[in-house]
Amino acid sequence: MRGSRNQGQEEVWIMRPSLLRAPLGRLLTVFGPFSPSPNKPATQTAAASHRCHQRNTMRYQTEERGRPNSANYRIFFKTSEGKYISPFHDIPLIAETEEHDNGVPAKKPKNNEHEMLFNMVVEVPRWSNAKMEIATKEPLNPIKQDVKKGKLRYVANIFPHKGYIWNYGALPQTWEDPNHADTVTKCCGDNDPIDVCDIGTQVCFPGQVIQVKVLGILAMIDEGEMDWKVIAINALDPAAKELNNIEDVHRSRPGHLEATVDWFRKYKVPDGKPENQFGFNGEFKDKSFAVEIIKSTHEHWRALVQRQTSSKGIACKNVSCHESPLKCCADEARAVVQSAPVFGSPHPVSPEVDKWHFV
């Protein structure tokens, strides 16, 4: 998944009507009429409470549809103005200034490739088991629970771990292209946005959008497919200032990265699958390497939404990518959400989900 551009060549980061270049390849992230408002997120209205459930996440809100712990459960995304969006295609890759609760703008990330922050869409909170993921093949790409062989998917508890050992999610506006083979591992992408492990302290919720500092990356090979795992930390975490590269994690958190490799190696074994393999002998690559991989996956995503490559079934409906022939209007996006079942009470979860597995 390494980028093929020559060193020093200009690179495009965020799609917009007129592509303004910036130093170190960082594009000024302006999304035209979609650009999130600096105003605070709107609060949930009483009229909406009987048909859906909403949660605020900084500039974005989530709206739940269907019944939790069921196959029809979905988490849709919208802006603070109530405009429905795709978390895959419409949330910018590079984070912009957020607002604190008192209305004072937070400090913007420095205009430096090694200090910039990225948006992360949280799919799975730490210590939980439900395999929640962006539905890449559904319109507007809501979060749903993965289903295998007709059953909801839950990640096994590999002793001594409980569920996921970090907040797990994806970087928006990235795509691991199954048409592209990595130059080192020779494996093609897994047809998903690039995955992220947030090693911060806060336990997030599904659909939360956080700003993260990238620290490094792990080259996992999942059943022959390239499945990069970005290691990052929530920019608001107290330890974020001290963690600037993967070596800082090795030094200050003994065993954390080793546990991460062990978790990814074994988590499918209880389901009868073989252990996952890794490129680079399971060694984490540094921040600079990780940023190059992220750039490459962003370029593949741009080609995807512009229909310059085979979509492999990916749904590319969006409301903000002006160069995309699949851009839709707000009414069309709203109709997608309203066609989903109304929010209901959760189904019970089997106690089998809490079972220990010794591998």
Q: Has residue 103 been placed in a domain?
A: yes
Residue 97's pLDDT is 55
- Is residue 10 one of the residues assigned to a domain? no
Query: What do you get for the CA distance between the two ends of the chain, in Å?
Result: 31
**Per-residue pLDDT tens digits of the chain, which is 359 residues long:** 433 333 333 333 434 332 222 333 333 332 233 233 333 333 333 333 333 456 665 589 999 999 999 999 999 999 999 999 999 999 999 998 554 444 344 444 445 656 789 999 999 999 999 999 999 999 999 999 999 999 999 999 999 999 999 999 999 999 999 999 998 899 999 999 999 999 999 999 999 999 999 999 999 999 999 999 999 999 999 999 999 999 999 999 999 999 999 999 999 999 999 999 999 999 999 999 999 999 999 999 999 999 999 999 999 999 999 999 999 999 999 999 999 999 999 999 999 999 999 99
pLDDT 10s digits, 142-174: 999 999 999 999 999 999 999 999 999 999 999
Residue 292 lies in a domain: yes
Domain count, the chain: 1
What pLDDT, on a 0 to 100 scale, did the predictor assign at position 96? Answer: 80
3-state DSSP helix/strand/coil % of the chain, to nearest 5: 20, 25, 60
Q: Determine the pLDDT at residue 102.
A: 40
CATH of the domain at 181: 3.90.80.10
> How far is 86 from 356, CA to CA, in rounded Å?
36
- Domain limits at 332? 60-357
Residue 36 lies in a domain: no
Q: Is residue 81 part of a domain?
A: yes
Residue 40 within a domain: no
Using alpha carbons only, give the angle 9, 10, 15 rounded to the nearest 5 degrees. Answer: 145
CA neighbours within 13 Å on the CB side: how many for 208? 16
pLDDT in tens, 10-69: 333 434 332 222 333 333 332 233 233 333 333 333 333 333 456 665 589 999 999 999
Q: Is residue 340 part of a domain?
A: yes
Q: Has residue 11 been placed in a domain? A: no
CA–CA gap between residue 259 and residue 268 (Å, rounded): 15
How many angstroms from the chain centroid is the CA of residue 145? 15
What pLDDT shows up at residue 32?
Answer: 31
Rounded Cα–Cα distance for residues 305 and 326 (Å): 7
